A and B are shown apart, each in its own frame.
Chain A
Amino acid sequence: MPQKEEVEHLIKTCETGKDSVAAFSRSIDDFSAVVEELPAVARPLVRRDLQANSGMSADEWTTFLERLGARYGAIYDEARRVAEALDEANDGKVAKATAALKDAAATLVESADVAVEQMQTMEAYLEGLPAKINMIPDAFLKADTREGLVSSMPGYAERARAVKELLNETKELLSSVIAG
């Protein structure tokens, strides 16, 4: 039977996870909006650079983050049911709620390592992106546009790191709660 403290911890992690994924998803949206405003010369360069170095296009990142946010929401709902069942001290209800939690978390548990690896890749890419943008010759990207692009991405890498760390934490908690 899962421990109440672990379930409560999982609920809080899922709440934070939903918020962190939403925050990073907004960063991707903001980045895409800035890229759309770039001169025609630089736009495809930045788009293709993101895809080549992070493994996914901005649209694919958005889709992935939407799914991840929805998955956190589903796990959160089921974890709350487990907590309620534990409060009632109803073993049958706890077992049923835990099984539902396991189902809701199955794809995340299965794909967590790949997702962590992908977030790590994105974090590294975002950390190096300002320096990379500064390497683009003035002939392709004017100084003011360059400054606008670089200044549009504060905290992006940190948000990617937050999602990555929460994924690791969520996976460990789920293993513990479901196995317990």
Chain B
Amino acid sequence: MVIYVEDSNATISEVLANLQSIFSGVESLGKAVEFGDKVAVPIYQFNFGTGGGGGGGGREKRTNDAVGFGLAGTIGPVAVIILEKDVPGPGGIHIHEFKANKLGEALAELMLRLWNMVESQIGGRTKLSAEKKEKLMNI
């Protein structure tokens, strides 16, 4: 995708920089697929990058300046989680990697999500107010 603008300014650069930081390196769970007694959940890795450039030309009083920014990305599966319907608990979870170097990050993200789901059910989280934390840090 390429976005052409008539004039470059800091705001556009900032927006693109923010877009890059938001989308680069994001892992996401894909749609679950059921087959028999198993459910497969793919994990995808998103990698986005941006680039920009500009140029000027034309004659006096008839200048022709332009600036272009590009946004491109790749999406690829890094692992698949297999959940066995008939096996309760952690023993029913299996991981199959596609790319070893990305597996750790993807699984960590997945595990945190699973853990968060479990904790939301059993109420294990402890909130510490900013006021209390400040007191502790200044004790």
Contact = CB atoms under 8 A, between A and B. Distances in A.
B128 A55 contact: yes
11 contacts: A41-B104, A44-B108, A64-B137, A67-B138, A67-B139, A71-B139, A111-B139, A114-B135, A115-B135, A125-B126, A138-B90
A42 to B, nearest CB: 8
A139 B94 CA distance: 6
Contacts of B137: 60, 63-64, 67
A60 B138 contact: no
Contacts of A53: 119, 124-126
B31 interface: no
B90 A55 contact: no
Interface in B78-120: 90-91, 93-95, 103-105, 107-108, 111-112, 115, 119
Interface in A60-85: 60, 63-64, 67-68, 71
Contacts, number: 86
A37 to B, nearest CB: 14
4 closest A-B pairs by CB: A55-B128, A40-B104, A137-B90, A111-B135
Interface string A28-45: 000000000001111111
B133 interface: yes
Given A41-B111, A43-B108, A139-B94, A54 B126 contact: yes
Contacts of B105: 40
A16 interface: no
B136 interface: yes
B135 A137 contact: no
B126 A39 contact: no
Best-buried of A40, A41, A48 by chain B (most CB within 10 Å):
A41
Given A41-B104, A52-B125, A55-B126, A114 B136 contact: yes
A140 B111 contact: yes
Interface of B: 90-91, 93-95, 103-105, 107-108, 111-112, 115, 119, 124-128, 132-133, 135-139
A49 interface: yes
Best-buried of B105, B111, B125 by chain A (most CB within 10 Å):
B111
B127 A55 contact: yes
Interface of B is mostly: helix
Interface residues of A, number: 36
Contact of B104 (A39, A60, A71, A115): A39
A135 interface: yes
A49 B104 CA distance: 17
Best-buried of B124, B135, B136 by chain A (most CB within 10 Å):
B136
A143 interface: no
A137 B127 CA distance: 26
A56 B127 CA distance: 9
